[in-house]
Structure 1
Amino acid sequence: MIPNSLVLVGFISGLLGSIFGIGGGIIIVSILISVYAIEPRFAVGSSIFVIVISSAIGVIYNLTKKRIDLPIAYKILISTIPGSLVGSFIIGFIPAKTFNYIVSFLLISFSIFVYKRFNPGPQKLNIKFGLLSVILFFVGIMSSTTGIGGGIIYTPLLLNVLSLPLITSISTSQFILAVTTTTALSTHIFNENIQPEITLPIAIGAMFGSFLGVKILHKIPKQFINWGLIIILIGFAGYLLISAN
Structure 2
Amino acid sequence: MNLLSPDIVLLFILLGSLAGFLAGLLGIGGGIIFVPLFLHVFPLVGIDPAVMVHMAFGTSLGIILPTAVSSTLGHRKRGNVDWSQVYGLALGGIAGAALGSTLAAFMRGDSLQFLFALMQTVVALRMIRSRRYLPPERDKPAPFWQLVLVGIAGGAFSAFFGVGGGVIAVPLMVIVLQLPIQLAVGNSSALIVVSSLAGAASYVFHGWNSPLLPPLSAGYINLLVLGLVAPFSMLSARIGVRVAGHLPHDKLVKVFAVLLILVGVKIGLQALN
Q: Which band: TM-score by shorter chain?
A: 0.7 to 0.9
Matched, 1:55 2:61: no
Q: State the one-letter code of the partner of 2:80.
A: R
Cα 1:136–1:93 shift into 2, 3 Å:
same
Moved more, 3-12 or 220-229: 220-229
Q: Tell me the CA shift for residue 199 of structure 1.
A: 1.9
Unaligned runs of 5+ in 2: 137-141, 209-218
Partner of 1:77: 90
Q: Percent identity?
A: 22
CA displacement 1:35-92 (0-9 Å, x = unmatched): 3325011111110110002222222223223333444444333322201012223333
Indicate if the aligned counterparts of 2:34 and 2:60 stay in contact, CA closer than 8 A: yes
Partner of 1:87: 100
Aligned-pair Cα RMSD in Å = 3.3
What is the count of residue pairs matched by the alignment? 241
Cα 1:176–1:88 shift into 2, 3 Å:
same
Q: TM-score, normalized by length of structure 1?
A: 0.79
Equivalent of residue 32 in structure 1, options 31, 34, 38: 38
Between Structure 1 and Structure 2, the one with more helix by share is: 1
Cα 1:28–1:57 shift into 2, 3 Å:
same
Alignment of 1:71-220 (within 5 A): 71-116=84-129, 118-119=130-131, 121-122=132-133, 124=135, 134=149, 136-190=151-205, 191=208, 192-213=219-240
Q: State the one-letter code of the partner of 2:38.
A: L
Q: Tell me the CA shift for residue 227 of structure 1.
A: 3.5
Equivalent of residue 14 in structure 1, options 15, 20, 27: 20
Instruction: Give the 3-state SS of the residue equivalent to 2:221 in structure 1.
Output: coil
Structure 2 CA distance for aligned equivalents of residues 103 and 208 of structure 1 = 27
Q: TM-score, normalized by length of structure 2?
A: 0.72
Cα 1:199–1:228 shift into 2, 3 Å:
same
Structure 2 CA distance for aligned equivalents of residues 236 and 123 of structure 1 = 32
Q: Tell me the CA shift for residue 181 of structure 1.
A: 0.7
Instruction: Give the 3-state SS of the residue equivalent to 1:122 in structure 2.
Output: coil
Cα 1:10–1:164 shift into 2, 3 Å:
farther
Cα 1:70–1:113 shift into 2, 3 Å:
farther
Equivalent of residue 10 in structure 2, options 4, 21, 31: 4
Alignment of 1:213-228 (within 5 A): 213=240, 223-224=250-251, 227=254
> Bigger relative contact order, structure 1 or 2, given CA contacts below 8 A and separation 6+?
1
Q: Tell me the CA shift for residue 224 of structure 1.
A: 5.0
Indicate if the aligned counterparts of 1:22 and 1:155 stay in contact, CA closer than 8 A: no
Moved more, 215-224 or 40-49: 215-224
Q: State the one-letter code of the partner of 2:268.
A: L
Q: Tell me the CA shift for residue 182 of structure 1.
A: 1.4
Q: Tell me the CA shift for residue 10 of structure 1.
A: 1.8
Unaligned runs of 5+ in 1: none
